[in-house]
Amino acid sequence: MNTSNLLQLDEFLQQCRQRVNQRLAVALDAEIASATLLEAMRYACLGGGKRIRPVLAYGSALAVGGELAAADNAAAAIELIHSYSLVHDDLPAMDDDDLRRGKPTVHKAFDEATAILVGDALQSLAFQILSADPVAQENVLEARNRLAMVQLLSQSAGATGMVGGQSLDFEAVGLELNIQQLEQMHSLKTGALIRCAVLLGGLSCESTSDSQMAALAAYADNIGLAFQVQDDILDVTSDTSQLGKPQGSDSDKNKPTYVSVLGLDEATALANSLSDKAIAALQEFPASANPLRELAAFVVSRLH
């Protein structure tokens, strides 16, 4: 990426992060009987993170001619699902990680029971937000669009998406997978929620056409896999202070990765190829899709 594009993307990332953080803060400023639960929910969601999925939702809304405000609920909902998944993934019964986003994981900062309840609460809050009218009344969506968004998120987050991929991930520990098996696992575990984020952004605008949704889906499928390949690369090439989580955790747990299957050079080439394909999928979109184009390049050049 050239310097000009990098600066523009950095401004866009900051703007989107501010918007989704504000929406999350409002959602988590609720009257909940358990003060501990509320504190832990806020700890899990408001303490940093790249916010890549919300940014993709915002970028997709812009690409189809919408405004950022139209995607506020979609962005918040997708981040809540992502945050819940991280809280549960870090539990001793799952990945047993002590560090997330540069600070103790929820079960370390609180306790395991609270962490389980936090994940449950964040998941239900995501659907509560997504099914509600946007905060800005001029962006009210028809019920059919909101229903489609709820259906998409439920499919992407559940057994046919992220949770199914997580199950495959555990089943694969200690096994040697081929590239097709690895791609299937990660298209569910990581790709499904990234694809969902992009499509939610498209659905947040009433005028989005079927052809635009198909192009966004092609973009999302490629960027979703590119994101996972780059994660596998960073697990080898980066360090704990950059990642905000333990470096080398996948290899330590004997999990198959794109680097272990392909080698570092081929994995890097694959990530770049997927990024190029994602950008090519947007060829019919105007300049309003430039944030998505720049994000595709950013995903494979990031250092954490």
DSSP string, 12-77: HHHHHHHHHHHHHHHHTS---S-HHHHHHHHHHHSS----HHHHHHHHHHHHTT--GGGGHHHHHH
Answer yes or no: is 253 within a domain. yes
Query: Closest Cα partner for 117 from 50, 40, 224?
Result: 40
Query: Using alpha carbons only, how large is the chain's radius of gyration in Å?
Result: 18
> Strands, DSSP E only, in the chain?
99-100, 103-104
Please state, for a pLDDT cut of 90, what percent of the chain lies above it.
Answer: 71
Domain boundaries, position 77:
3-299
DSSP 8-state code for residue 137: G
C-alpha to C-alpha distance for 221 and 226, rounded to whole angstroms: 9
Q: Give pLDDT, residue 105.
A: 95
What's the gap between Cα 190 and its chain centre?
Answer: 7
Answer yes or no: is 290 within a domain. yes
Least confident stretch, 8-22, 51-65, 67-81, 126-140: 126-140
Query: Closest Cα partner for 51 from 157, 194, 172?
Result: 194
Categorize the per-residue pLDDT at 144 as very low, low, confident or very high, splitting at 50, 70 and 90.
confident
Answer yes or no: is 162 within a domain. yes
Domain tally, the chain: 1
* Spatial CB neighbours of 119, under 8 Å, sequence gap ≥ 6: 84, 85, 87, 88
pLDDT in tens, 192-245: 999 999 999 999 998 899 999 999 999 999 999 999 999 999 988 876 655 555
What separation in angstroms does the CA of 95 have from each of 135, 174, 248, 269, 298? 36, 14, 13, 28, 27
C-alpha to C-alpha distance for 235 and 93, rounded to whole angstroms: 21
Query: Closest Cα partner for 20 from 46, 41, 43, 40?
Result: 46
* Spatial CB neighbours of 190, under 8 Å, sequence gap ≥ 6: 162, 165, 224, 225, 227, 228, 231
* Mean predicted confidence (pLDDT) in 261-277: 94
C-alpha to C-alpha distance for 1 and 10, rounded to whole angstroms: 12
* Mean predicted confidence (pLDDT) in 278-299: 95
Answer yes or no: is 304 within a domain. no
Answer yes or no: is 203 within a domain. yes
Neighbours of 57 (CB within 10 A): 32
pLDDT in tens, 30-82: 889 999 999 999 999 997 788 999 999 999 999 999 999 999 999 999 999 99
pTM of the model: 0.90
* Mean predicted confidence (pLDDT) in 111-130: 96
C-alpha to C-alpha distance for 186 and 90, rounded to whole angstroms: 18
Evaluate whether 256 touches 176 at the Cβ level (below 8 Å).
yes
CATH number at 213 reads: 1.10.600.10
What's the gap between Cα 120 and its chain centre?
Answer: 18
